[in-house]
Structure 1
């Protein structure tokens, strides 16, 4: 997956993030798949609430057309 530079991330609209606070960028399919994997890990480590996890999953799957 291509990494976003700080400038590229700053240029993304808020709609390209799965969570408020510009968390979990999902501007394309590769980043959406990465967000799904990372969100799962963060949920299991206690860094995401179940509600935040469901939001990330929903937004990432929508980006992937699922």
Structure 2
């Protein structure tokens, strides 16, 4: 995964994150793919609600150009 430095993360607009609280950065396709993988893992472990998971999937697909 491509890592963001703290300065890079801080410079991102709120719209570059899938969830409120600046969670799940998705500024590019690499991060969007990683967000999908991590969200699936956390959702299956019960650490993300269905709504949060669906939001991450929707927003990540937008970044990947997979709008439905």
TM-based fold match above 0.5? yes
After superposition, give the CA deviation of every residue in 1:14-65 in whole Å (9 maximum; x if it has no partner). 0000000000000000000000000000001111000000000000000000
Residue 53, structure 1, aligned to residue 48, structure 2: no
- What SS class does the counterpart of residue 46 from structure 1 fall into? coil
Report deviation, 1:2: 1.9
**Superposition RMSD on alpha carbons, in Å?**
0.5
TM-score (norm: length of structure 1): 0.98
Could you tell me which runs of 5 or more consecutive residues in structure 2 were left unpaired when the two chains were aligned. none
Alignment of 1:1-12 (within 5 A): 1-12=1-12
CA distance in 2: counterparts of 1:48 and 1:58, whole angstroms:
15
Number of residue equivalences: 66
Moved over 3 A (4+): none
Q: Determine the C-alpha separation between the residues in 2 that align with 1:55 and 1:2.
A: 22
